[in-house]
Amino acid sequence: MLSERSQLVTIFDFDNETQHGKLEDAILEAVFNAAKYYHQTNDQHRSAAELKLASAWHNVEYARRAIFTDLNISKWSNEDLRQGLVDALSRGYIDFIELFIEYGITLEKLTIKDLDYLYSTAYIDKVLPLKKIKYTVPTRDDFYAVYMRNYIEVYNDKNVPLGDHALRDLFFWAIFLDRFDLALYLCSKTWNQSVAPLFGARIYAKAAAMTLDSETKQLYKHNAEKLDKYAASLVDRCFECDRDFAVNILKRPAIAFFNVLPLKLALKANCRAFLASKCVQRYLDNEWFGNINYKRQNINFRIFLCSVFFPLIPFFCHTLPYIHRHQPYNPNAVVRSRNPNSSTHPRTASNVRWTEKIVYFYKAPIVRFYYNLIFFFVFLGLFSFVLLVDYFPLNVYNGTRSGIRGLPLPITEICLHVCIWGIIIEELRQFFLMHSYDEYLDEISNIIDMTAIILYIIGFITRFVVIEGFFTFSKIIFGLDLILWYIRILHLFAAYERLGPKLIMIFNTMKDLLFFVCFILIFLFGFSITSWSLIITSSQVQWIYDKRGDLLNVTVSENGTHGWNWKLLRDVTNYGVWKVFGQVDEIESDNSYSAVAFILAILFVAISNVLLLNVLVALFNVTIENVQDQSHDIWRYQRFLLVNEFRQKSLLPPPFNTLYCLINAIVRFIAHRQKRYRNHRLIPDEKLTVDIIETGDGLTVPRLKITDSMKRENAIVEDFWRDLLKQMEEKKNKLKYDIL
């Protein structure tokens, strides 16, 4: 029997060169021998069985040595190799995927049917969450409908190869199935590698917002932060190689990823590390100053002086140094500077006409920032002046306002209303430029603006009712509105590098203050109500005794009816709130009530002033230490938002923006009409930059137009991915050995 089936017998020998002293290799060899014997009549089936066994055993060394040989590889059909690659992808074996690619089985040859099969191999409890709970395996369309609703693609023929979109689609598949290591490997093979991690970060961030489990939520957030940092490292690696090239990456749409712009995607994904990278900051410098050469000495102060003298701009703005920007990056350019110290600024242009200088001056976001800053200080001064000395009821009795008889409102108040309505128009313009309401409400400054505008409208309406109660209410509302406008000016200070991080620290410590207020209110009301009830008992209850000390009568104030009024609540709060700061007033009475209230005051001062306030100071110190290391990066992110905001602002500050918006609307209307007229005359329609190439099988494969810049980007970041994947493999091996 053994002699007849000798090929099924495998002897393990430590000195065997084939088995290398590994028992698992001997077992694998025995399994292969059985597979060969079972499929000995069909070479194609035998090869497929060997390939599946090698992949299932996950022994890439044995597969490379015994299966992927020049003699055996020629016996396998392309279909078997493709199925083997799909099996390796479903198992997540990166080394096997590399082995298939090495032997010419590329991912581009996979079909839509293979992609659907990969989605069907997912475990329901290990994929990213969906809005609707499904008890079946989710499909590709289910994930795209939740996480990438604007990028859904419909394929009628499932046998169409993925082509150049294979790496992109497989990268999204790995992200949706939460196979992070495999997603990183596929990301290292895609085009536009600086954009791919941003998509992954956006998907993971959305998944974290949808999941309810705290541990899973933290894991998704951690993965999103990792991808965010990888994207920042990639673009900074390009920036170190060539600054011009790296900045142009941010300006160009990502052809391999739906032609999205990197900065818009990073903003939607809230990728703060990417937006705080060196490359993005250089891009912001270019955008912030426009065509003004910001490398000159005291350039900020010179721009500020030109902005202060508003009527004299045509005479003063020509003193600033201007430059001509680079032309858009040409991907087919042969010679590019590789000097890391090269600047994104060309030489200073000495032949700029004075009309161009005025246009350049107005277009620079820093000029708009200074205009708004100057206007805001003037606006706050005007608002403060009106509330202090020039706010009166509506003149319906033919009185005198601002020295003019019969004027309904003072001139200063009229100017104030004109300014605020200019702010409202600018805020409405900003709101309609947003892509969604959520994007507008994500910014705290926009919420403050909206609240201040609502308060103003309420005060503006009640201000025209000539009734004392309405006038009092309107002035109180305007006073609260002024507080919000003063707070709003802090947003403008975020542009300065020294002030921005400090504001971030202040806002973070305010969170600790809110928690402290909750604790202190509990002690405050408990102490205040108890102490005040004891102190006022003598005035509420009168005990009447005769000369011998016998009780004659007991009288109560207000005949025992409820003595509640709002003044009582104010007295209770006023009695206890100053104790928090250590201010203790002497109690005049000397009865038992006062003695107990005095003891309670000592205890409350000890708890609130000594214990709780010192705990608050300690919390502030811890928060500042934790935030201090990250505050600069957070400020860079805030700076990006600020530059992006003022780049879309009107050229002139309120209230002059009203005229600008009117002219701009007329120009846009005329341009739209002209465009519609030209479109009626044009017949051809432009297509996307995607080629359709026929394969030998009669199938069409979508092909991207890969530019030289895309190839260069991949070449620059190749070392980064190699080191990262090597570190991941070492950690995985170390973990495996620790388990064994």
Regarding whether 390 and 358 lie in a shared domain, the answer is: no
Q: How far apart are CA 625 and CA 619, in angstroms?
A: 10
Query: What's the average model confidence in pLDDT over 732-738?
Result: 66
Confidence class for position 624, pLDDT limits 50, 70, 90: confident
Nearest partner of 109 among 138, 135, 89, judged by Cα: 89
In this structure, the answer to whether residues 542 and 633 fall within a common structural domain is yes
Q: Which of 363, 389, 423 is the last residue of a domain?
A: 363
Instruction: Check residue 48 and give its pLDDT.
Output: 63
3-state SS class at 528: helix
Q: Which of 140-149, 682-691, 724-733 has the lowest mean pLDDT?
A: 682-691
Tell me the C-alpha to C-alpha distance, in Å, between residue 158 and each of 98, 346, 625, 700: 25, 51, 56, 12
pLDDT of residue 5: 56
Per-residue pLDDT reduced to its tens digit, 658-670: 888 888 888 888 8
210-250 tens-digit pLDDT: 888 888 899 999 999 999 999 999 999 999 988 889 999 99
3-state secondary structure 202-240: HHHHHHHHHCCCHHHHHHHHHHHHHHHHHHHHHHHHHHH
DSSP string covering 27-48:
HHHHHHHHHHHHTTT-HHHHHH
Determine the pLDDT at residue 82.
Answer: 81
Q: Does the pLDDT at position 284 exceed 50? A: yes
Q: What is the pLDDT of residues 445-459, one digit of tens each?
A: 888 999 999 999 999
681 alpha carbon, distance to own chain's centre: 43
Q: What are 111's strand-pairing partners? A: 161
Do residues 383 and 490 both lie within one domain?
A: yes
Q: What are the C-alpha distances in Å from 647 to residues 257, 430, 696?
A: 26, 11, 51
How many DSSP H helices and E strands does the chain contain?
A: 32, 6
- In a domain, residue 106? The reply is no
Q: What is the pLDDT of residue 518?
A: 82
Given this model, what pLDDT does residue 676 score? 74
What mean pLDDT is predicted for residues 5-30? 59
* pLDDT level of residue 336 (50, 70, 90 thresholds): very low
What local confidence, expressed as pLDDT, does residue 620 receive?
Answer: 80
Helix residue ranges, H only, 121-260:
140-147, 166-176, 180-187, 196-210, 214-241, 243-251
The span from the CA of 509 to the CA of 624, in Å, is 7
CA distance 384 to 403: 20
In 3D space, the residue among 701, 721, 727, 728 whose CA is nearest the CA of residue 186 turns out to be 721
The residue among 380, 368, 361, 378 whose CA lies nearest residue 312 is: 361
Q: Which domain holds residue 391?
A: 374-495
- CA dist 105 and 258 (Å) reads 26
444 and 399 inside one domain: yes
Rounded to an integer, the average pLDDT of 245-258 is: 89
Q: Mutual orientation of helices 708-716 and 214-241 as an angle, nearest 10°?
A: 110
Q: Is 162 within 8 Å of 115 (Cβ atoms)? A: yes
Can you tell me the distance from the alpha carbon of 426 to that of 453, in angstroms, rounded to the nearest whole number?
Answer: 12
Reported as a single tens digit per residue, the pLDDT across 428-443 is 888 887 767 777 787 8
CA 54 to chain centre: 44
List, in sequence order, the alpha helices (H) in 684-717. Answer: 708-716
Query: If you average pLDDT over residues 72-93, what whole number do you get?
Result: 77
Determine, yes or no, domain membership for 554. yes
pLDDT score of 478: 94
CA distance 609 to 331: 67
Tens-place pLDDT, residues 95-154: 888 888 877 778 888 888 888 888 888 777 688 888 766 557 788 888 888 888 877 776
Residue 561: the pLDDT is 56
Residue 125 CA to residue 117 CA, distance in Å, equals 18
- Write down the pLDDT at residue 654: 85
725 has pLDDT over 70: yes
Determine the pLDDT at residue 33: 63
In a domain, 136, yes or no: no
Bridge partners for 23 per DSSP: none
In a domain? residue 732: no
**Helix (H) or strand (E) run with residue 691 in it:** strand 690-694
**What distances in angstroms separate CA 385 from CA 210, 223, 378, 489, 705, one per listed residue?**
49, 53, 11, 18, 63
pLDDT confidence of residue 385: 94
Residue 71: per-residue pLDDT: 65
Nearest to 423 by CA among 404, 439, 446, 401: 446
Looking at every residue in the chain, the average pLDDT score rounds to 78
Token code pair at residue 320? 């600033």
| 521 and 593 both lie in a single domain | yes
Residue 256 structure tokens:
């391999």
pLDDT for residue 687: 37
Question: Which residues fall within 8 angstroms of residue 61, CB to CB, at 6 or more apart?
Answer: none
Is 584 within a domain?
Answer: yes
Q: Are residues 485 and 395 in the same domain?
A: yes
Q: Are residues 464 and 518 in the same domain?
A: no
Per-residue pLDDT tens over the stretch 165-201: 888 889 999 999 988 888 999 898 888 888 999 999 9
**422 in the same domain as 354:** no
Structure tokens at 508: 């973070």
Q: How many domains does the chain have?
A: 3
Any domain includes 113: no
The CA radius of gyration of the chain, in Å to the nearest whole number, is 37
User: Cα(127)–Cα(130) distance, rounded to whole angstroms?
Assistant: 9
Residue 490 lies in a domain: yes
Q: Quick one: average pLDDT of 570-580?
A: 82
Provide the pLDDT for residue 433.
79
CA distances from 459 to 355, 383, 463, 476 (A): 44, 13, 6, 8
Distance CA 399, CA 401 (A): 7
Residue 569: how many CB atoms within 10 A of its CB? 12
The last residue of one of the domains, among 648, 681, 716, is 648
Residue 366 vs residue 133, higher pLDDT: 366
Residue 477 has pLDDT above 90, yes or no: yes
Last residue of a domain, one of 363, 389, 422: 363
CA atoms within 13 A on the CB side of 456: 21
Do 603 and 644 share a domain, yes or no?
yes
Query: Could you tell me if 483 and 522 lie in one domain?
Result: no
423: pLDDT strictly greater than 50: yes
**Residues 274, 235: contact at Cβ < 8 Å?**
yes
End-to-end CA distance of the chain: 38
Judgement on whether residues 477 and 518 belong to the same structural domain of the protein:
no
Give the residue from 703, 683, 705 showing the smallest Cα distance to 693.
703
Q: Does residue 683 belong to any structural domain of this protein? A: no
Report the amino acid identity of residue 335.
Answer: V
Same-domain status, 519 and 626? yes
- Which pairing describes strands 541-545 and 551-556: parallel, antiparallel, or unpaired? antiparallel
